[in-house]
Amino acid sequence: EPEVTQTPSHQVTQMGQEVILRCVPISNHLYFYWYRQILGQKVEFLVSFYNNEISEKSEIFDDQFSVERPDGSNFTLKIRSTKLEDSAMYFCASSGTGPDTQYFGPGTRLTVL
Partner 1 sequence: SQKIEQNSEALNIQEGKTATLTCNYTNYSPAYLQWYRQDPGRGPVFLLLIRENEKEKRKERLKVTFDTTLKQSLFHITASQPADSATYLCALDPLMDTGRRALTFGSGTRLQVQP
Confirm or reject binding of residue 99 to partner 1 (CB under 8 A): yes
In the region spanning residues 10 to 49, those forming contacts with partner 1, defined by CB under 8 A, are: 31, 33, 35, 41-45, 48
**Nearest distance from C-beta of residue 68 to partner 1, angstroms:** 17
**Nearest distance from C-beta of residue 61 to partner 1, angstroms:** 11
Nearer to partner 1, 17 or 41 (CB): 41
Show the beta-strand stretches assigned E in 62-106: 65-68, 75-79, 88-95, 103-104
Query: What track of x and - describes contact with partner 1 for positions 59 through 88 (by CB under 8 A)?
Result: ------------------------------
What are the percentages of helix, strand and coil residues in the chain, rounded to 5?
5, 50, 45
* Ramachandran sector of residue 42 (left: φ over 0; alpha: ψ -120 to 50; beta: rest): beta
* 88 bridge partner residues: 110
Residue 93: how many other CB atoms lie within 10 Å: 23
- Site of interaction with partner 1 (CB under 8 A): 4, 31, 33, 35, 41-45, 48, 50-51, 55-56, 58, 89, 91, 95, 97-99, 101-107, 109
